Amino acid sequence: MSTNNKKRPNPIDVHVGSRIRLRRNMLGISQERLGESLGITFQQIQKYEKGTNRVGASRLQAIASILNAPVSFFFEGAPGEEREAVAGLSEEGTAYVADFLNSSEGIQLNRAFVKITDPKVRRRVLDLVKALAAEAPLPD
């Protein structure tokens, strides 16, 4: 039996960790702050987010509570999930959105956008972004 398999994180653990990182970044919470709220080190948060350490059920419940998300959020789009694509998003689309929200620009845009409380202003911002995207030159 190979010992290399033991060192490879479980794909579900990696997925749950990436969703923890996504939600934490969406809220602008540091690894240190999340760790302090849980009574653990930021290094442990890093291990959870990388999937090298598995998050136990009670710890995941606590993380969900701190990050104001249902526990199911951390499993959405998990490998082996046999659901129809939600709202027309394929698995690749979901990964694209997650990558964007984990980027510096995505985090900043998300934080600024959620602070806009007027639905009409939010709609106008969305229309502006769509117009700018339509005008953007295609890459060579």
pLDDT tens digits for range 98-133: 677 767 788 788 778 878 888 898 889 888 888 887
Same domain, 136 and 113: yes
pLDDT in tens, 49-101: 999 999 999 999 999 999 999 999 899 888 875 544 444 444 455 566 667 77
Is the residue at 94 inside a domain?
no
Q: What is the pTM of this model?
A: 0.63
Same domain, 63 and 113: no
What CATH number is given to the structural domain containing 17?
1.10.260.40
Q: Tell me which of 23-37, 40-54, 93-107 is least confident.
A: 93-107
Terminal Cα-to-Cα distance of the chain (whole angstroms)? 49
Same domain, 33 and 56: yes
Q: Spell out the residues 6+ positions from residue 15 whose beta carbon is closer than 8 angstroms to its own.
A: 51, 75, 77, 78, 79
Does position 20 have pLDDT exceeding 50, yes or no? Answer: yes
Same domain, 8 and 72: yes
Same domain, 13 and 47: yes
Same domain, 119 and 82: no
pLDDT in tens, 85-94: 444 444 455 5
Mean confidence (pLDDT) of the chain: 81
Range of the domain at 72: 4-89
Same domain, 110 and 71: no
pLDDT score recorded for residue 95: 63
Residue 74 is classified by DSSP as: G
Is the residue at 98 inside a domain?
no
